[in-house]
Structure 1
Amino acid sequence: MLDILILYYSRHGATRQLAQLIARGVESVPGCSARLRTVPAVSTVVEASAPSVPDAGAPYVELADLAQCAGLALGSPTRFGNMAAPLKYFLDTTSNDWLAGNLIGKPACVFTSTSSQHGGNESTLLSMMLPLLHHGMAIIGLPYSEPALSHTSGGGSPYGASHIAGADGRRPIDEHEKALAIAMGKRLAETALKLARPL
């Protein structure tokens, strides 16, 4: 069984919902299982620290999760066209994984949620790819063979699954966004299986 790590940070829940849809896509592929993990919030107060176990949702990621995964889906809400600080903070701690080459050759994809159509979702997806490329991962996107990519009026792009949450953050994930997130997870799992097969 191949373990696919779905690592995300979510402030208001939309990115977490996308992660769950990607997990559904991963688990639709026989031989693959999804491991949902999150990161703690970053505090502006030096003395503040997050509880060692989150109150709800996925457990916090550990560096061992990276080394053990056969593929990675990385998700974050958009913050000024970039990934959120908590996710970036965690990625900045992965130097030993980079030195050991733990992620080289593994497939990866990215996903995001933003408040507006032009709120930086594509630049956020691209910014999340950068550390994954430095780790030597094989980035996969969403091909236009996915019908929802040509019909979406919300989120979704060839760079990865996305969601437009609206100014108040309450717009539900629509059918096209759901279809693309599930397709992204399925494609990631299928790619991981192909890469894991001996030549």
Structure 2
Amino acid sequence: MQPYILVLYYSKSGATKEMAHLIADGIERQGMAVKIRTVPELTTVVKDVAPAVPEEGDIYCTLDDLADCAGLALGSPTRFGNMASELKYFLDQTTGLWINGALHGKPACVFTSTGAMHGGQEATLLSMLPPLFHHGMLILGISNDVAALSHTKTGGTPYGASHVSGARHDQPISQDERTLCIEQGKRLAEVVKKLNCN
């Protein structure tokens, strides 16, 4: 099987999904295969069950998608400075992968979108890291040699790409934010290729 990088995200208003696709673009620019996956909505109504395949958009991630990836980009909107519960719920189901060491030594990065500049971007990115550390993954940020990291007036952190979508989630991804997403994907792919060259 050809090595691939998994871009796994949850998105409510569409900004995190757009970022996921920009990161995937960066990965593909480095000649790596990519799988883009999402997770289903959670509901407080227990009798509702999400369909196995969504009616539209990216398909749902399986534990095999995660176990078999050569690298991971993990994205979530901000929920009070934390990752969204939908993504956390998926990660909480990965104990079997942890026991088997399925993700040991694989590179990973994180990304997020927020409604406000001070909506918890960096806290959210940091909240996504502990599960990755526990899985033995190698964590990558964005290098300060990417000029957009210093020039951005909206999202963007050394911990990972971010986007400020505005209170109504109507702010488009800025050129600097786009650049940071693409560069993050490229960096992840570069490291995966170096680790997998035999």
Q: Normalised by the shorter chain, which TM-score bucket? A: over 0.9
The one-letter code of the counterpart of 2:22 is L
Aligned to 1:61: 61
**TM-score (normalised: structure 2):** 0.98
Question: How many corresponding residue pairs?
Answer: 197
Gaps of 5+ in 1: none
Aligned to 2:171: 171
Map 1:70-149 onto structure 2 (within 5 A): 70-149=70-149
In structure 2, how many angstroms separate the alpha carbons of the residues matched to 1:164 and 1:34?
25
CA RMSD between the two structures: 0.7
Deviations 1:102-143, CA, capped at 9 Å, x for gaps: 000000000000000000010000000110000000000001
Gaps of 5+ in 2: none
In structure 2, how many angstroms separate the alpha carbons of the residues matched to 1:49 and 1:149?
41
**TM-score (normalised: structure 1):** 0.98
The structure 1 segments of at least 4 consecutive aligned residues displaced by more than 4 Å after TM superposition are none
In structure 2, how many angstroms separate the alpha carbons of the residues matched to 1:22 and 1:36?
10
Deviation of the 1:49 alpha carbon: 1.4
Residue identity (%): 57
Aligned to 2:3: 2
**1:38 matched to 2:38:** yes
Deviation of the 1:100 alpha carbon: 0.4
The one-letter code of the counterpart of 1:147 is A
Deviations 1:121-179, CA, capped at 9 Å, x for gaps: 10000000110000000000001100000000110100000100000001000000000
Deviation of the 1:2 alpha carbon: 2.3
In structure 2, how many angstroms separate the alpha carbons of the residues matched to 1:62 and 1:2?
16
Any conservation in 2 of the 1:2–1:193 contact (CA below 8 Å)?
no
